Amino acid sequence: MTKLAPVLSAHWDEKDSFTIAAYKRHGGYTASAKALAMDPDAVIQLVKDSGLRGRGGAGFPTGMKWGFIPQGDNKDHYLVVNADESEPGTCKDTPLLMANPHVLIEGCIIAAHAIRAKHAFIYIRGEVTHVVRRMNQAIEDAYAAGYLGNGVELVLHVGAGAYICGEETALLDSLEGFRGQPRLRPPFPAIAGLYARPTVVNNVESIASVPAIVANGAEWYQSMGTEKSKGTTLYSLSGHVVNPGQFEAPLGITLREILELSGGMRKGHKLKFWTPGGSSTPLFTDEHLDVPLDYEGVAGAGSMLGTKALQIFDETTCVVRAVLRWTEFYKHESCGKCTPCREGTWWLVQILRDLEDGKGSEADLAKLLDLCDNIMGRSFCALGDGATSPITSSIKYFRDEYIAHVTNGACPFDPIASTLFEGADA
């Protein structure tokens, strides 16, 4: 039985956890002091050795990404932290930054040192005003304490509400003041990123994991997790569960274990389907309760670890309705640059809406799947791919439920039954 292993979230329960004083009380800013005394290449090697992989979804080895930055090129280098957390279901960076903004700042100091960057940027989702305020205060405190401003400048940039800006090159365009749309690659950001300079773009959790690795060593980090997925990570549990929230555990824990640790499903209900890593990762069902939630385990079962956003839905939920909601999101957020995503999401919503309303036909399912096939892998960036995942996976597991909408001429579910306030009056 895997246990929770709070590292990032170790002190979140303390009332002042977000202050610089609390952070220092628990050894904060000692790792950066240690790293700054090291050769930058040694820091990169340390992170490589730790096995840390990107926590933004793709799972690319963080140390290797840092190693791609050309050295001695006499160009400015930049570190950019992607805090544009916008995927439906994904909610790890926001609580992390609320509870402990300084761990990200310290991570930035170490990472900037490693890649020889003098400037770091945090691109944060614009809607999370409370986090922006807290982050700004933390940056101010870190400047006042001298952790920032002595070799590394850190800028918090607030986005304006576009999901696409979580795509790293769209993020860079947005950061430069342009409309956020993904850039053609190559050149990759490591060669020509922000202002056409070598740039590392990392997720909040990836950078926030670095101070602990520097403090405790690569071996310590290696000791947690599975063969190819090392360390601990935040699993964000939401939906029809008794205790939603952040559960930090070594990679490889299963949903069954997390549910046991957290108090399980909503009383009297059973698991129907869930996302392992946010709405753009193919759905799982109760067959997958024992899939190890690491990069390889989830991929082996036909989905993606993604952002470890475990959205849990019980048997009261209409999967067609849930998928329609997600698809509406992707239609709204498609940047419009490429045809498959722009036109495809527009069209998918219309078909799904008809199906959910009971106005569809069985032929619509074939059409949906074929459209998804024409979008998946044909789009400019992963947004289009992600938009098809809930559709194709839900049809794979719940085809009968789609058909039931057709034969019923309406949705067979009572939407009230799936709300969390259902039964509150009783």
Partner 1 sequence: MTPDTDVIVEQITLVIDGFEVTVPKGTLVIRAAEKLGIQIPRFCDHPLLDPVGACRQCLVDIEINGRAFPKPQASCTIPVEPGMIVKTQLTSPVADKAQKGVMELLLANHPLDCPVCDKGGECPLQNQAMSNGNPEMRLDGVKRTFEKPVAISSSVLLDRERCVLCARCTRFSDQIASDPFITLNERGALQQVGIYEEDPFKSYFSGNTVQICPVGALTGTSYRFRARPFDLVSTPSACEHCASGCDLRTDVRRGKTLRRLAGDDAEVNEEWNCDKGRWAFKYVTATDRLTVPQIRDESGELVTASWPEAISAAAAGLSRGAAVLVGGRATYEDAYGYSKFARVALGTNDIDFRSRISSDEEREFLAARVVNNSTTYRDIDKADHVLLVGFEPEEESPIVFLRINKQFKKRALKVTSIGSKESIAVEKLSANFICVQPGQEAAAVATQELTNKSVILVGERAAESAGLLSATAALADRTGAKLAWIPRRAGERGALAAGAIGNLLPGGRPVSDAAARVDIASLWNVDSLPSEIGRNADQIIADVNSGQISALLVGGVDPLDGPSPAGTIAALEKAFVVSLEIANSEVTKYADVILPVAAITEKSGSFLNWEGRAREFETAVDSLNRSDLRILSMIADELGHSISLGTVANAAKEIATIGNWDGASVATPSVSMASAHSVSGDQAVLTSWRRLLDLGTLQKGEENLAGTARRTVAVISPKRAAALGVVDGDLLRISNGNGWVMLAALVENIHDDAVWAPRNSAGSQLLANLGVAHNSVVTVVKA
Applying CB under 8 A, the residues found at the interface with partner 1 are 162, 164, 179, 184, 331-340, 342-347, 350-351, 354, 367, 370-371, 373-375, 377-380
Residue placing its CB nearer to partner 1 in the complex, 84 or 257: 84
Least separation in angstroms between residue 336's CB and partner 1 is 3
Name the minimum Å distance from CB 185 to partner 1: 9
Closest CB 182 distance from partner 1, rounded Å: 10
Among residues 26 and 179, whose Cβ is nearest to partner 1? 179
C-beta of 337: minimal distance to partner 1 in Å? 5
d(CA 18, CA 277): 26
Q: What is the enclosing helix (H) or strand (E) of 249?
A: strand 245-250
d(CA 353, CA 38): 57
What is the C-alpha to C-alpha distance for residues 33 and 94, in angstroms, rounded to an integer? 26
Q: Residue 119: what residue type?
A: H
Question: How many of the other CB atoms lie within 10 Å of CB of 151?
Answer: 12
Q: How far is the CB of 344 from partner 1 (least distance, A)?
A: 6
Q: Cβ closer to partner 1: 55 or 183?
A: 183
With beta carbons less than 8 A apart as the criterion, state whether 231 and 114 touch.
no
**256 touches 290 (CB < 8 A):** yes
Whichever of 54 and 384 has its CB closer to partner 1, that residue is 384
The greatest distance separating any two alpha carbons of the chain, rounded to the nearest whole angstrom, comes to 69
Give the list of residues 6+ apart from residue 347 with CB closer than 8 angstroms, or none. Answer: 371
| Residue closer to partner 1, measured from CB, 70 or 161 | 161
What is the rounded CA–CA span in Å between residue 66 and residue 49? 13
DSSP string of 286-352? GGGTTS--SHHHHHHTTS--TT-EEEEEETTS-HHHHHHHHHHHHHHH--SSSHHHHHHHHHHHHHH
Going from the C-alpha of 208 to that of each of 85, 111, 115, 154, 203, the distances in angstroms are 15, 10, 16, 15, 9
Least distance (Å) between residue 374 CB and partner 1 = 3
| 52, 61 contact by CB (below 8 A) | yes
Distances (CA, A) of 73 to 40, 45, 111, 128: 15, 20, 18, 37
Q: State the minimum distance, in angstroms, from the CB of residue 300 to partner 1.
A: 17
| Beta carbon of residue 184, minimum distance to partner 1 (angstroms, whole number) | 5
Our CB check for partner 1 shows the closer of 143 and 347 to be 347
* Minimum CB–partner distance for residue 334 and partner 1 (Å): 4
For partner 1, the closer CB: 32 or 174? 174
Nearer to partner 1, 164 or 324 (CB): 164
Six-digit token pair at 35?
């790293």
Give kind and range of the element (H or E) at residue 101: helix 101-115
- Which of 83/162 has CB closer to partner 1? 162
